[in-house]
Amino acid sequence: MDNAERQMRFLYALRSRGVTDPRILSAMERVDRGAFVTGIFAERAYEDMPLPIACGQTISQPSVVALMTEALELTGRDKVLEVGTGSGYQAAILARLSRRVYTIERHRRLVRAAREAFAELGLGNITVVHGDGSFGLPDQAPFDRILVTAAAEDPPGPLLAQLREGGIMVLPVGQSDAVQSLIRVRRLPGGLDYEELRPVRFVPLVEGLGTD
Q: Which residues bind ligand SAM (CB under 6 A)?
A: 57-60, 83-84, 86-87, 89-90, 104-107, 110, 132-134, 149-150, 202-203, 205-206
Q: Which is nearer to ligand SAM, 7 or 85 (CB)?
A: 85
Q: Which is nearer to ligand SAM, 1 or 178 (CB)?
A: 178
Closest contact distance (angstroms) between CB of 86 and ligand SAM is: 3
Q: Out of 60, 63, 87, 98, pick the active-site residue.
A: 60
Q: Where are the beta strands (DSSP E) in 53-206?
A: 58-59, 79-83, 100-105, 126-130, 143-148, 163-173, 180-188, 191-200
Closest contact distance (angstroms) between CB of 141 and ligand SAM is: 16
Active site residue 176: no
Cα 122 → chain centroid:
19
SS3 content of the chain, % helix, strand, coil (to 5): 40, 30, 35
3-state DSSP assignment of residue 101? strand
Closest contact distance (angstroms) between CB of 49 and ligand SAM is: 13
Cα–Cα distance for residue pair 65/193, rounded to 1 Å: 22
Q: Which is nearer to ligand SAM, 58 or 127 (CB)?
A: 58
Instruction: Supply the residues annotated as catalytic.
Output: 60
